[in-house]
Amino acid sequence: MFLIKARYIFVCDEDFTILENKTLCFDENIVELGEFEKLALKYPQAKLIQIPPNSLILPAFINPHTHLEFSANSYTLHYGDFLVWLKSVINARSNLSQKAKEKLILNTMRSMLKSGTATIGEISSFASDLVACVKSPMRVVFFNEILGVNENANEVKKQDFLKRFYSSLKYKSENFIPAISLHSPYSLNKDLALFALEIAKKHDLLVSTHFLESDHEFKWLHHKGKGFEKWLRFFEPNPKPKFSPQSFLELFKGVRTLFTHCVYVKDFNHFDKNSHFITHCAVSNRLLSKARFPLKKALKAGMSVHLGTDGLSSNNSLSMLDEMRANLLIHQDFKPQDLAKELLLMATSKPAKALNLELGELKAGKIADISVFKVEECDLKQLPLQFILNAKKVEKIFIKGKECSF
């Protein structure tokens, strides 16, 4: 059992409580928060962890949307338009994934740990990220991806998916959670989508999908525009949209699903609020989507929205701190001090809820995934904002109460 005496604590509860000069007692789970003297007496066997005097502790970040297989990308993929990007992905995909060997992926994960992230949702396209994700000390929700539009190839696609899915299932543990990603409404036919959702329901697995990310996708699903058609002709002779946005959404009724992007969603009332969550990837959207996700509108409609970085395929950083800084700059319809608190919840308690994990809040009983950052003396009202603006690297990070070295 351990005690950490902190100058500041971000509890990350709904009210965004900030504690001053309090102590956190934890083992694998959080035991209690309170006065140091009281906790030291109550838990005499607990070891005091040494941290710098001006430290802030908070729940470790959760990044529910990464593509580690694309970690070798910088300068290669083309940005500015989704179809231009997609063409560059098709051209460079095998080269990039060959370069993203276990060592590179583990180094990328280490840099995420250093920036305060303990849990990721990894979208795995080829399973070349499996070994690294199993070996890493990070907690990984491993979303095995399925995609395919041409029905003639369904059997091959199913077999390939099942092979990857069952090998991931062998490694299932508290820290490695197999799950399923249905790539998107434009890249899947109904038979493959239903097949994957059936498996998700049978094994009670989390589901992730990319949804209404680009203007091209919006037009294609509404039977308008030829951009996607030209690209999809590469896979089948006479491509037609397989879903409308609504008919795609309906497939996920009652299934705990993370909908990534949602930039072009017009009406958030079509989502099932109890089981649907939105992953907002601001930097990726800036590079590929030509529009900004309407955060205020989604929140007003009662959606639970959290942050994700997406992969290095559409970002220059997998740090949630960098992602929060980008969010602070683009969502000008919020006061910066208010947005800072919201963003911290969108990197901790909100993604924990979406992934159904007992994480993301410093409260007795939650799993002890904790990060420690050095900060400066600061007006309490300014602290969340100042922290996001200045923090880069943790002093310490604990996963299930165990300190990680990097």
Residues annotated as part of the active site: 213
String of contacts with ligand MCF for each residue 282-301, x by CB under 6 A: --x---x-------------
Nearest distance from residue 318's CB to ligand MCF, in Å? Answer: 12
Q: Is 122 in the site for ligand MCF (CB under 6 A)?
A: no
State which of residues 66, 136, 209, 314 lies at the interface with ligand MCF (CB under 6 A).
Answer: 314
Nearest distance from residue 67's CB to ligand MCF, in Å? Answer: 4
Nearest distance from residue 106's CB to ligand MCF, in Å? Answer: 19
Q: Indicate the residue among 213 and 323 with the shorter CB distance to ligand MCF.
A: 213
Q: Residue 227: name its binding partner from Fe ion, ligand MCF, none (Cβ under 5 to 8 Å by kind).
A: none
Number of residues that bind Fe ion (CB under 5 A): 1
Q: Is 84 in the site for ligand MCF (CB under 6 A)?
A: no
C-alpha distances (whole Å) from 82 to each of 75, 77, 193, 218, 252 are 16, 11, 22, 12, 25
Q: Is 310 in the site for ligand MCF (CB under 6 A)?
A: yes
Q: Residue 314: name its binding partner from ligand MCF, Fe ion, none (Cβ under 5 to 8 Å by kind).
A: ligand MCF
Q: Assign residue 143 a region (left: φ > 0; alpha: ψ between -120 and 50; beta: otherwise).
A: beta
State which of residues 63, 117, 125, 144 lies at the interface with ligand MCF (CB under 6 A).
Answer: 125
On the 0-12 / 13-18 / 19+ scale of CB atoms within 10 A, 295 is buried
Q: Is 70 in the site for ligand MCF (CB under 6 A)?
A: yes
Q: Indicate the residue among 215 and 310 with the shorter CB distance to Fe ion.
A: 310
C-alpha distances (whole Å) from 326 to each of 182, 212, 329 are 27, 21, 5
Helix (H, G, I), strand (E, B) or coil at 380: coil
Non-local CB neighbours of 163 within 8 Å, separated by 6+ positions? none
Q: Give me the DSSP letters along 104-173.
A: HHHHHHHHHHHTTEEEEEEEESSSTTHHHHHHSSSEEEEEEEE-B--GGGHHHHHHHHHHHHHHHHHT-S
Other C-beta atoms closer than 10 Å to the C-beta of 55 total 18
Q: Residue 7: name its binding partner from ligand MCF, Fe ion, none (Cβ under 5 to 8 Å by kind).
A: none
Distance CA 281, CA 356 (A): 20
Distance CA 341, CA 50 (A): 27
Q: Is 310 in the site for Fe ion (CB under 5 A)?
A: yes
Token representation of residue 224:
């308008």
Q: Is 242 in the site for ligand MCF (CB under 6 A)?
A: no
Q: Indicate the residue among 314 and 327 with the shorter CB distance to ligand MCF.
A: 314
Amino acid residing at 179: A
Distance CA 121, CA 351 (A): 10
Q: Is 389 in the site for ligand MCF (CB under 6 A)?
A: no
Q: Which residues bind ligand MCF (CB under 6 A)?
A: 67, 70, 89, 123, 125, 145, 183, 187, 210, 213, 284, 288, 310-311, 313-314
